[in-house]
């Protein structure tokens, strides 16, 4: 398996992965449900992801086939007791069904963490839907600890 930066020619693969990601999360029925990727400007999103220097956006390939992606960012934060100015945010990981349970997500997150360390980032957060037991288990497995619960309400 290899992890690589996507290029402009990879848009169709990104589009396929975004649809898979959306369909996987749709059953959770959250208040702030993601917008169907077929209704978003994916070309603009993709261009932003591949050009932003504070973004870690990589495709994972298995035997030459794109199997998934990882997307993480460096965020500026407000004043805090640690004195940190920036933190990492593991925003999303998607692995196509036929490639799951083969260590790809763990491989991608290790590379993301190394990238964060190279940027002198000392802390990383990840969030997920409270009903997504697979990613909750995965996050705990790679060393994340539950920090707080976030509530939401439509008005």
Distance spanning both ends of the chain, measured CA to CA: 46
User: From CA 54, how far away is CA 74, in angstroms rounded?
Assistant: 5
**DSSP letters along 29-77, please?**
--TTPPPPGGGS-HHHHHHHHHH-TTEEEEEEEETTEEEEEEEEEEEE-
- Average pLDDT value over all residues in the chain: 90
Which pLDDT belongs to residue 30? 64
Buried b (16+ CB within 10 A) or exposed e, 10-19: beebbbebbe
pTM of the shown model: 0.87
Strand order in the sheet with 86-95: 2-4, 55-62, 65-76, 86-95, 124-126
Which pLDDT belongs to residue 152? 78
5: how many CB neighbours lie within 10 A of its CB?
11
Which pLDDT belongs to residue 12? 94
Which pLDDT belongs to residue 77? 92
Q: Which CATH number fits domain 2-141: 3.40.50.720, 3.40.50.1370, 3.40.50.920, 3.40.630.30?
A: 3.40.630.30
pLDDT tens across 108-123, in order?
A: 999 999 999 999 999 9
Q: Where are the domains of the chain?
A: 2-141
Which pLDDT belongs to residue 27? 63
Q: What residues in the chain have per-residue pLDDT under 50?
A: none
């Amino acid at each position: 398996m290899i992890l690589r930066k996507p290029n402009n020619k990879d848009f169709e693969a990104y589009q396929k992965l975004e649809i898979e990601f959306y369909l996987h999360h749709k059953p959770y029925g959250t208040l702030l449900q993601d917008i169907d990727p077929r209704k978003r400007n994916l070309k603009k999103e993709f261009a932003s992801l591949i050009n932003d220097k504070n973004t870690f956006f990589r495709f994972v390939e298995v035997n030459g086939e794109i199997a998934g992606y990882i997307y993480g960012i460096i965020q500026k934060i407000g004043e805090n007791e640690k004195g940190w100015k920036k933190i990492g945010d593991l925003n999303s990981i998607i692995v196509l069904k036929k490639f799951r349970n083969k260590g790809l997500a763990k491989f991608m997150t290790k590379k993301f963490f190394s990238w964060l360390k190279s940027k002198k980032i000392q802390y990383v957060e990840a969030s997920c839907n409270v009903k997504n037991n697979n990613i909750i288990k995965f996050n705990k497995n790679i060393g994340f600890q539950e920090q707080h619960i976030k509530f939401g309400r439509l008005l």
